[in-house]
Amino acid sequence: MSSSKVKKLFSDSLIYGVAIIARSLSSIILLPLYTRYLSTEGYGVIELLSMMVDFTAIFFGARVGQSFLRYYGLANNEKEKSEVFSTSFSLLSFTHLVGALLLILFSSSIGMLLFGGQEYKAVLIVFSLNLLFGGMSEIPLAWLRANGKAASVLFFSLTKLVLQISLCVGFLVYLEWGVMGAALASVLAQGTIAILLMIYCVKSNKIILSKEIAKKLVGFSWPIILAAVSMFFITYGDRFFIRTYLTLSDVGIYALAYKFGFILYAIGWQPFQSMWEAERYRIYREESQHYLFPAIFSFMSVLLVFMAFGLSVWIGYFLQIMSDKEFWPAAEYVPIIILGYVFLSWTGYCNLGIFTSGNTKVFGVSSMFTALFCLVAYWFSIPQYGLMGAAVVTALAFFVRFFVIHRLAKARFDMKLNWYPAISSLCLASALFGVNEAGVIKIDNLFLSNMIICLFFLVMLFVLKIVKVSDLKTVYSTLAKKAGA
């Protein structure tokens, strides 16, 4: 690979990382608005509506966006690329339109299932439009990535961020429209970006529809749905049981706690993963470079655990500043959920052997097994142990999935990972978190005590030789070489 291509790969990876963080920032910045101007019940309603849209998109989207990248990348000329783009865009827009219309048509029944009544039917109808606009956005965003237009992806991500925050401030703070205001802000921001993306991308492609390509797109995508449905139940299945056995307010508290798991994954892992998913294959092909697998994993694992530890320690302080008092109990569940997302991140690193072998069906099987475990465990634990039961099952589910996929991947290609730094840092974080929660550090100033415990964690990483200076030099020199390649 030429130096110019390497530079572009890493510059694009950096931009995509910023775009991912920009999307995550919308969740972070909107949290104070939601938790100040919505009740716990209102926040629970928004989360259940988001869950409904995500679940519906699995079936009506048929994961065409993933197959688009494959067939677009294999196209031999501009005509074929235009066929793939226009067919994918038309297909996905149509299926999402059908899905949105069905949600609206059956809004009464869905409202009864989700909320136990018709109080939020109008909000449900408005929010259903997010399904349509999400479908309209998916292929244009994939087209931008396929053509190396990372800066455009970042532009649209930032535009949506600014637009949604501005609309939320207007509708929630000034107009005080509550749940309906939050729904309208989401739909208007998503719809505006979808229309702008459509105009931008359609101008660059000829509209050529192909029935054969449509069949290929759907045929390639269907097997992926099994894994997607399974992951949905792992991630969101607890909300339905909480709504059934507890209350909408409990859904809101738990959804807020879960949001910090999303935030850790989006900020602490996805930017790295967006670069690593391509780079790891280059390292795999060069056996002399295989030593990088354990070195980079050790570094990234410890960094991730430190971020998880810091978020767990500071969450109570953070919620007291950003949210109304009725949301503060969410802090109790955040550390457990965050632990699950540490396991999810490790899974994304350890699965290389499955991809290099080409046997991706094990993802669907392992995810389905984990989803079944989740549903049974949620059914048993939530009525008995409430929100803590849901959080513990979530962490266990991600651990089970990680363990299974790691074992399957290692059997196909052993990355020779050194687990001492990852496991030791996790044990250290757990011990120090317990010490902090027990109030061993007798300092009245919460801000100061949190700073001390986090700094102590960093010091102990080197004292216990969990992190070695030699590993830091290896990772630094690797990244430095690639940046200057």
| 172 secondary structure, DSSP code | I
Structure tokens at 141: 């965003």
8 A C-beta contact, residue 358 and residue 377: no
Rg (CA), the chain: 23
Q: Is 139 a residue whose pLDDT tops 60?
A: yes
**pLDDT of residue 284 exceeding 90:** no
Give the Cα-Cα-Cα angle 393, 396, 401 (nearest 5 degrees). 125
Is there a single domain that holds both residue 152 and residue 234? no
16 token code pair: 């995509």
Instruction: Indicate if the pLDDT at residue 324 is higher than 80.
Output: yes
CB 50 within 8 A of CB 182: no
For residue 196, pLDDT over 70 is answered with yes
CA distances from 259 to 129, 335, 376 (A): 23, 12, 23
In a shared domain, residues 285 and 393: yes
- Tokens representing 416? 């020779």
Domain assignment present for residue 181? The answer is yes
Q: Where is average pLDDT lowest: 142-146, 184-188, 303-307, 414-418?
A: 142-146
Whether 216 is in a domain gets the answer no
Q: CA-CA distances (angstroms) from residue 283 to 62, 274, 338, 477?
A: 32, 15, 30, 15
Q: How far apart are the first and last CA of the chain?
A: 10
Residue 312: pLDDT over 90: yes
Least confident of 29-43, 170-184, 328-342: 29-43
Are 297 and 235 found together in one domain? yes
Domain that holds residue 374: 228-485
Residue 136's pLDDT is: 92
Please report the pLDDT score of residue 126 as a whole number: 96
pLDDT digits 0-9 by tens, 377-436? 999 999 999 999 999 999 999 999 899 889 988 988 899 998 999 999 999 999 999 988
Last-in-domain residue among 182, 209, 236:
209
Residue 222: inside a domain? no
Q: Which of 232-241, 311-320, 473-482 has the lowest mean pLDDT?
A: 473-482
Output the CA–CA distances (angstroms, integers) from residue 380 to 367, 373, 375, 384, 385, in the order listed.
Answer: 20, 11, 9, 7, 9
Residue 105 contacts residue 163 (beta carbons within 8 Å): no
In a domain, 217, yes or no: no
How many domains are contained in the chain? 2
Residue 239 and residue 149 share a domain: no
Together in a domain, 241 and 285 = yes
Q: Is the confidence at residue 102, as pLDDT, over 90?
A: yes
pLDDT-derived band at 1, boundaries 50, 70, 90? very low
Q: Please provide the average confidence, as pLDDT, over all residues in the chain.
A: 84
* Three-state DSSP state, 222: helix
Q: What is the pTM of this model?
A: 0.77
Residue with the bigger pLDDT between 365 and 469: it is 365
Helix, strand or coil for residue 210? coil
Write down the residue that tokens 């909320």 correspond to: 115
Same domain for 348 and 251, yes or no, is yes
Whether residues 56 and 158 fall in one domain: yes
Distances (CA, A) of 63 to 93, 302, 372, 404, 464: 12, 33, 22, 24, 46
Nearby residues of 65 by Cβ (< 8 Å), 6 or more positions away: 88, 92, 138, 139, 142
Rounded-to-integer distance, Cα 205 and Cα 209, Å = 11
Burial 250-287 (b: 16+ CB within 10 A, else e): bbbbbbbbbbbbebbbbbbbbbbbbbbeebbeebbeee
Angle at 177 between CA 171 and CA 179, to 5 degrees: 100
Identify which has the larger pLDDT, 216 or 241.
241
Domain membership of residue 223 (yes or no) is no
Output the six-digit token pair for 216: 């290929």
Give the C-alpha separation, 308 to 325, whole Å. 23
Confidence at residue 5, expressed as pLDDT on a 0 to 100 scale: 43
203 domain residue, yes or no: yes
The first and second tokens of residue 266, run together, are 């989006």
209: left (phi over 0), alpha (psi -120 to 50) or beta: beta
Which string of DSSP letters, residue by residue, matches 121-132?
A: HHHHHHHHHHHH
- Would you say residue 150 lies in a domain? yes
Q: Is residue 219 included in any domain, yes or no? A: no
Burial class (CB in 10 A: 0-12, 13-18, 19+), 220: middle
As a whole number of angstroms, the distance between CA 485 and CA 472 comes to 20
On whether both 288 and 195 belong to a single domain, the answer is: no
Model pLDDT for residues 456-479, shown as the tens digit of each residue:
999 999 888 887 766 666 655 655
Q: Which of 343, 395, 356 is nearest to 373 (CA)?
A: 395
pLDDT in tens, 8-53: 545 555 665 666 666 666 667 788 888 889 988 999 999 899 989 9
Distance CA 373, CA 74 (A): 38
Residues 97 and 64 in one domain: yes
Residue 332's identity, in one-letter code, is E
Please report the pLDDT score of residue 236 as a whole number.
84
Q: In terms of domains, do 180 and 257 share one?
A: no
Q: Is the domain of 307 the same as that of 456?
A: yes
Which of 317, 316, 342, 340 lies closest to 330 in space, CA to CA?
316
Ranked by mean pLDDT, the top range of 172-176, 202-206, 436-440 is 172-176
Structure confidence at residue 3 as a pLDDT band (50, 70, 90)? very low
Q: Which of 209, 236, 255 is the last residue of a domain?
A: 209
- 233 in the same domain as 193: no
Q: How far apart are CA 175 and CA 132, in angstroms?
A: 26
- pLDDT tens readout for residues 106-128: 999 999 988 888 899 999 999 99
- Statement: residue 480 has pLDDT above 60: no
